[in-house]
A and B are shown apart, each in its own frame.
Chain A
Amino acid sequence: MQVSSSLRESLITGGKTVGDVSEDICRQVEGKPTKLWWMAFGVSLVLLGFGVYTMSMTLWNGIGMWGLNKTVGWAWDITNFVWWVGIGHAGTLISAILLLFRQKWRMSINRAAEAMTIFAVICAATFPLIHMGRLWLGFYWALPLPNAFGSLWVNFNSPLLWDVFAISTYFTVSLVFWYIGLIPDFAVIRDRAVRMGNNTRAIIYNALSFGWQGGAKTWMRYESVALILAGLSTPLVLSVHTIVSMDFATSVVPGWHTTIFPPYFVAGAIFSGFAMVLTLLLITRKLFRLEDYITIYHVELMNIIIIVTGSIVGIAYITEFFIAWYGQVPAEQYAFINRATGPYWWAYWSMMTCNVISPQLFWFKKIRTSLVATFVLSIIVNIGMWFERFVIIVTSLHRDYLPSSWSMFYPTMYDVGEYVLTFGFFFAAFLLFAKFFPVINMAEVKSIIKSSSEKKH
């Protein structure tokens, strides 16, 4: 039984009934796509096309199409990888950790956030793949598969191998979790399709729902599975970015070789993930008229999480500097001074402004409850988080131990193109999801509607 305090504001506004929920959410699945949807989808496809072109050129000619060099061996590729993985984290946090903590407000946003996770992880995974010099071999050589090369095995010492495990596990668990959540909602769409006499849709959604009938036993099992998967996902929220951070933390590069990285990366991931969830939901909310489901209250709560994680990230930045001074390792001291005052000072200060200063604006209730301000700041936060990874990767590499090898990194059209590729894919995939799948978890929202939706009188 769901019980909620009568003092609490309703999570769903507009006095929605169970029928309204089905109607509101299924409307865009059943109807024709709007003009706006087509435009957005068209733009996404254009971006995707450009990205596919640049990626093909890179695969055909070599990684030399990018701006990398002998000193800076990773730049946009791994920056984008870490950025996308980070973004994915919010989805898992919302659906797993908030589920365990029984935060009901997550119910109207978890579906979209999880979808975002899936697409972000796919985007992220493209970078470790295409950044390889020999993708055609690397995509399976990096897996511990039995092989005919004699006793060749992968190197379990390598953080890159840990990445392979971390990302693939994360993707699998997230996908299963998301899909299981979708099953009852697919069944709703199927039932409506049957009622409307749309046989094709009924067949498709019946298949997608695995023939869900909604019996009490089925619901019971469904909820246990959700709980188990939430339990499985919870450590992943912490472990995936921890492992990603070890790509850097276990190296000898000054600026990478720091023990603070795991918690700092996880906080950063949640920070950027929530910002991305906000960006997407504010658009979806407007586009699909879901203002009653994704309310100012949701936005405010997420903004509070952004203040918290943003502050953690800010403290991490300061701690790094303190330790560089306190540790008295000259190379590390130089690395940090160089971040702030070297040739990439602008990247560092962009990062500081976007990640540390801008979220502090959410202390003002007026700002954290303003949709426009939230939208702008959510984008700023993600720009900042992109710069954070760029600062960590490029400014650490470009001037490390031997001054003779110091150099600069200048991105080419192909570096940018690969990033555009993932944006094209991400938005195209999200738009398809939003059009064909229920963007809000109807089943869960219906469970809170009676207790927390204000009644029509």
Chain B
Amino acid sequence: MSITKKTYWKGIQQLKNDPAFVKHADKEFVDLGVENDPRHTRRDFLKMMGFSVAAASLAACEAPIRKAIPFVNKPIDADPSIPNYYASTYVNGGDYCSVVVKTREGRPIKIEGNSLSKVSRGGTNAQVEASVMSLYDNYRLRGPKKGNDSANWEDVDKEITAKLQEVAAANGQIRIVSNTILSPSTKAAIERFKAKYPTASHVQYDQVSYYGILKGNEASFGKAFIPSYDFAKAKLIVSVGADFLGTWLSPIEFTKQYSVNRKISEDNRNMSRHYQFETNLTLTGANADYRTMIKPSQQGLVVAQLYNLIAGKAGSAAVSAGMDKVNYLDKAAEELWANRGKALLVCGSNDKDVQVLVNGINAMLDSYGSTILADKAVNFRQGNDEAMATFVADAADSKIGAVVFYNCNPVYDHPMGAQLGAALKNISLTVSTSYTEDETASMSAYKAPDHHYLESWNDFEPKANSFSLSQPAITPIFKTRQAQESLLMWAGEKVEYFTFVKNNWKDWYFNQSALGLGFQAFWDKCLYDGVLEVGGESGESLSFAGDVNAASSAISANYKANNTGFEIALYESYGVGNGSQANNPLLQELPDPITKAVWDHYATISQKDAAALGVNNDAEGRTQYLNIAIGGKSVKLPALVQPGQTPGTIGIALGYGRTKVGKVAENLGQNVYPLVVMANGSLNYTITSGVTPTLVDEPYQIAQTQIHQTYMGRSNVIQESVLSEFKKDPEAGREFPKITKWEEKVDPGTVSLWKGHDYNNHHWGMSIDLNSCTGCGACIVACNVENNVALVGKQEVINRREMHWLRIDRYYSSDTTDISDYAALEHASENPEVVFQPMLCQHCNNAPCETVCPVAATTHSTEGLNQMTYNRCIGTRYCANNCPYKVRRFNWFKYHDNQQFYESNPAMNTDLGRMVLNPDVTVRSRGVMEKCSFCVQRIQSGKLAAKREKRKVKDGDVVTACQASCTSGAIVFGDMNDSESQISKLLQIARSKDRPNSSDKQIGNPRAYRVLEEIGVKPNIFYLTKIKNKDVTNA
């Protein structure tokens, strides 16, 4: 090492040898400073002191600076406070929804359905609505990692490519493991990867397998596919264990279709009839007209029996299997046959033999071509259980050299996950592209995180010839990279995935479209719409050629009519689903539509079994644990007594028990995927033997948002009837309370101290159809996201302080109809009927909350809104006490910037989470009351938009968040002063001649009622009666 002689100088003065410098060169500080300078006087001292005091206090006053950097050049479409909307696609494994993303200042803040899509048709569900929060998940990977250390993409790429080549050179096996891939371009990228590494192959599996259905169809038609179903064409629906409104296959699409035939009016007095044969009380079962409880071990026999009943009518040969005494099965068969050509049977079983019989029945009913569209195959579930099992076995046998987990988490959500996890360390290259460090990623050597879907480009083909695109709604927040780009990179192709997708579309779809536009115009249109439909249906018909007898004998062997032991039916939770979005607090705090439980994992048992096992699950959710032994395994879960649960069965949700998931969901519940076993060539989500639950005398409290289960026969709350009555009288089920005066009985609305209001401009109102509402809860999440509703966590829900502005009241029927027998009314039936009632601020015209507020913090608007002024509220809570609907929510604590709520409410407590907040809605402070505002910010922006365009607000300009999210169209919001609005037409509003803008309007719809009409508060929300398509009341 050579020593170079350098001179450092303090400044230019030293270099120049300035005399003034030399004079003080020996001193470190040139100036003597105030204290040493004898020239300073008392006056100077006072000046200095005065300045210091002033400076110190000024400095103390200064607010901390947060960076807010204005655009130097403002992007043309980004205006502060003006939202932008981008069409995109929500895809999570095989779950699909075409969406519109609302962004504000470059941040996605809300997801809504895309009505241009012919698949999801503008519908959403809770998981889609909540997915915007997953974008701002604190548990997301910030960039690529090698082991536990952060790395950069170049190094990771280099190492992965080198290892892949090494494995390929040694002829080692390479696997890409994924859930169902709906994206043609992703598949193309995988093909490129496979071309580069010939030993590579692609394994798809689904968290909840539909492989049995694929195989059943293969056995029936020679082609492994899942057809499209059209519930809208079905007048008679029979479902054996398929929760098609909640979780089965494509629930958003099915809900949309199903609701078509559940909407009735004076003019259309027909509705579909729905039979459900199931084990757990599902969302679908809760909506059914007839529901029969069956055990999982009977499922095959029920289908076989139905086959025999239909075959008897069709003149076909019966099969050997079957069972007697299934409630309503004969009736269902009778009606199925009567409605053939417009009937549909679906079955949730993953057993191919059962599905063969289901196909056989549907074939006899002429469902193919009418309610089942075989030529429009769906791609939602392509997983192959056998291939996946082989992969895990190979991995365990060290036959695999490299594996890439493409956005999947089999260590957690595959039954053989533990085995796979143990095998991973023997594989020389393990890569996960998951965007969080989940169970599989944390066991993989390399984490090459993909973008969140809201940051990605992609294309999808959910159904044959239906396509959609997703586009980034935000610049990637972290140093993540599109997984397809990674795959191409490792295959030696450095290409942007956007270019790749665009080129593919040019090659694949552009020619077909033949629209006479240039490609760019075509592409722009596709991107703008988010979807593309190509060609028509081929009209290809299939003929059923399944071997029903073979299927039947297999069923006879595998199913039992009289199993005595306990059985388990696993199901996907409505909130966290298969567990992939478990770290999303919006979903954890979404009440389960049936149990109304949040933040919890439990085993549902029937009332009978609870008594036998000694489980005491009281109204407060206090219960005991059950230790459920299954063969050699066991799970310990709190028991929840569930009306409608088939006696002798236990329902357990999948999707819990995540261990590497982030703060929100960590160690919540048990992972029950390992309980799933392979049966008849596919995964079976029921366990029918060797199940022994035992009571563990250990208390536990489940958090539920509703702890009283029945509506106590109160017809002022729920008004319901049956279709046959409705046909005779559209006012069936209605109750008309009267107020007794001295000599006469009068309508409650006519006795009032108030003069009523005149709404000279708009009169906002809402109608909620209890018959259409399926109770799914998408509106709750939509409302939470739109209105920055705080999430409060499990303990606060147990304290009965959830903040939801909109809730769905779920009521069970009870055995008694005697409305004075209070004790019996409180008790839900063993197999109850269920009514869902969305409940939100009723915006009363004579609002009881308004009169009692001492400081006038809640007031009435000139448009019929009951307004809440947070700034003025002093928090006496009198308004909440006096609210007959109990929809007001108090800020018991400071829910934002408070460590106590860090885990449950990241949207208000972390820098990343805060990005999801809607800037148009105040985050409420502690000590104030809040409630539904009818999305007043949307009303305002709708009015402003109309004003800018110099026109009147027209129907559809203002859509509330709950209405937008409601797939079944149960919620209709609009201006009741506008005679052309949907709500005016639906409610048949007649305005009086002398006072046309009065708040008191004549409602002509015989089904429309106001909850608690007799107290005269005159809500602006109307409910339409619940009509069940049953033959008789209380049957």
Q: Which residues of A contact B (CB under 8 A)?
A: 61-64, 67-71, 73-74, 128, 131-135, 137-138, 141-142, 152-155, 157-161, 164, 247, 250-253, 328-331, 334, 337-338, 341, 397, 399-408
Contacts and interface: CB of A to CB of B under 8 A. Distances in A.
Interface string B805-823: 0010111000000010010
A137 B875 CA distance: 10
Interface stretch (B98-106, B205-213, B848-856): B848-856
Given A69-B801, A132-B875, A158-B878, A402 B926 contact: no
Given A62-B894, A133-B929, 19 more contacts: A62-B926, A63-B877, A68-B892, A69-B801, A131-B877, A134-B873, A138-B855, A138-B876, A158-B878, A159-B852, A252-B882, A330-B819, A331-B714, A401-B714, A401-B716, A402-B839, A406-B707, A406-B708, A407-B707
Nearest to A64: B892
B889 A402 contact: no
A334 to B, nearest CB: 7
22 contacts: A62-B893, A62-B894, A70-B802, A73-B877, A128-B876, A133-B927, A134-B927, A158-B853, A158-B878, A160-B853, A161-B854, A250-B851, A251-B882, A329-B1014, A400-B884, A401-B1012, A402-B884, A402-B1011, A403-B714, A404-B708, A406-B708, A407-B800
Contact of A402 (B707, B885, B893): B885
Contact of A134 (B848, B874, B884, B893): B874
A131 B880 CA distance: 14
Nearest to A341: B822
A131 B854 CA distance: 14
A142 B620 CA distance: 37
Interface residues of B, number: 61
A73 B855 CA distance: 18
A23 B801 CA distance: 60
B884 A401 contact: yes
B244 interface: no
Contact of A252 (B801, B809, B884, B889): B884
A137 B874 contact: yes
Nearest to B859: A155
A68 B1012 contact: no
The residue among A161, A329, A401, A408 with the most chain B CB atoms within 10 A of its own CB is A401
A69 B799 contact: yes
B875 A155 contact: no
B928 interface: yes
Contact of A154 (B810, B839, B856): B856
Contacts of B716: 330-331, 401
Nearest to B1016: A252
A127 B491 CA distance: 72
The residue among A133, A164, A338, A402 with the most chain B CB atoms within 10 A of its own CB is A402
A63 B852 contact: no
B332 to A, nearest CB: 32
Contacts of B855: 138, 141-142, 152, 154-155
Given A138-B876, A152-B872, A158-B851, A74 B881 contact: yes
A132 B885 contact: no
B337 interface: no
A154 B810 CA distance: 39
Nearest to B856: A155
Given A134-B928, A251-B848, A403 B712 contact: yes
Contact of B928 (A70, A133, A399): A133
A300 B717 CA distance: 53
Contacts of A71: 800, 886
A216 to B, nearest CB: 49
Contacts of A253: 881-882, 884
A142 to B, nearest CB: 5
B711 interface: yes
Contacts of B339: none
Contacts of B888: 70
List 7 A-B pairs, minimum CB-CB distance, nearest first.
A133-B875, A133-B927, A64-B892, A138-B874, A69-B800, A404-B809, A73-B877
A145 B369 CA distance: 75
Contacts of A400: 884, 886
Given A134-B874, A134-B927, A251 B852 contact: yes
A138 B929 CA distance: 13
A73 B881 contact: yes
Interface string B699-736: 00000001110111010110000000000000000000
Contacts of A164: 854
A132 B929 CA distance: 11
Contact of A63 (B809, B851, B890): B890
Interface string B676-719: 00000000000000000000000000000011101110101100
Contacts of B856: 152-155
B988 interface: no
A159 B1017 CA distance: 18
Contact of B876 (A132, A334, A337, A402): A132
Instruction: Please classify the interface of chain B as helix (H, G, I), strand (E, B), loop, or mixed, using the class held by over half of its residues.
Output: loop
Contacts of B620: 408
B809 A70 contact: no
A142 B892 contact: no
Contacts of A159: 852
A70 B890 contact: yes
Contacts of B937: none
A394 to B, nearest CB: 11
A334 B874 contact: no
Given A154-B855, A403-B811, A131 B872 contact: no
A62 B1015 contact: no
A399 B708 CA distance: 10
A271 to B, nearest CB: 25
A214 B711 CA distance: 72
Contacts of A128: 876
Interface in B550-578: none
Contacts of B839: 402, 404
Contacts of A74: 877-878, 881
A142 B874 contact: yes
B549 interface: no
The residue among A131, A134, A135, A334 with the most chain B CB atoms within 10 A of its own CB is A134
Contacts of A247: 878
A132 B740 CA distance: 38
Contacts of A330: 714, 716, 819
Contacts of B707: 406-407
B891 interface: yes
Interface in B754-802: 796, 799-802
The residue among A329, A397, A403 with the most chain B CB atoms within 10 A of its own CB is A403
Contacts of A69: 799-801
A277 B799 CA distance: 38
Contacts of B926: 62, 133-134
A408 B621 CA distance: 12
A132 B872 contact: no
A401 to B, nearest CB: 5
Given A69-B801, A161-B854, A330-B714, A62 B811 contact: no
A63 B707 CA distance: 23
The residue among B740, B855, B878, B929 with the most chain A CB atoms within 10 A of its own CB is B855
Contact of A157 (B851, B877, B1012): B851
A405 B848 CA distance: 17
B455 to A, nearest CB: 37
Contacts of B837: 404
A231 B811 CA distance: 57
Contact of B874 (A73, A141, A331, A408): A141
Nearest to B1011: A402
B852 A158 contact: yes
Contacts of A405: 706, 708, 885-886
A142 B854 contact: yes
A407 B929 CA distance: 19
B880 A73 contact: yes
A70 B874 contact: no
Contacts of B796: 64
